[in-house]
Amino acid sequence: MHRLQIPLIAAAMIAAVSCSRTDSGTVEIIPYPNHVAVHSGSFTVAGAEFRCSPEIGTKERKVISEFAERLSAVSGITSEVTEGDKGDGLV
């Protein structure tokens, strides 16, 4: 058991040091883009209407509905999920 203590302590110290690093110039985006320019600013989330093809499956519709719910929670405006016709800007 004592043989494992030093490697475990060393691993914990390395993890603590790596977690404490902060670099305000990095952006955590996956997939990483070729170029990122960081600027100050803001944007407003205003909700959205999602029109789905009647041909999509229930799994896909559930994913779209969950995203609409999250968007509604952030914006405070209800984001609706409805069925649309072809050429109607479908998701």
Pairwise CA distance, residues 41 & 36, whole Å: 15
Q: One digit per residue, pLDDT tens: the chain, 91 residues?
A: 556 666 667 666 666 655 555 556 666 767 777 887 888 888 777 778 888 888 888 999 999 999 999 888 888 888 888 888 766 666 5
Pairwise CA distance, residues 84 & 82, whole Å: 6
Give the bridge partners for 51, in sequence order: 82
Nearest to 43 by CA among 75, 69, 78, 66: 75
Q: Is residue 16 part of a domain?
A: no
Q: Is residue 3 part of a domain?
A: no
- Classified as helix, coil or strand, 82 is strand
* Tokens representing residue 47 in the block: 């909700």
Q: Is residue 35 part of a domain?
A: no
Pairwise CA distance, residues 90 & 13, whole Å: 51
**Number of domains, the chain:** 1
What is the span of the domain harbouring residue 50? 46-91
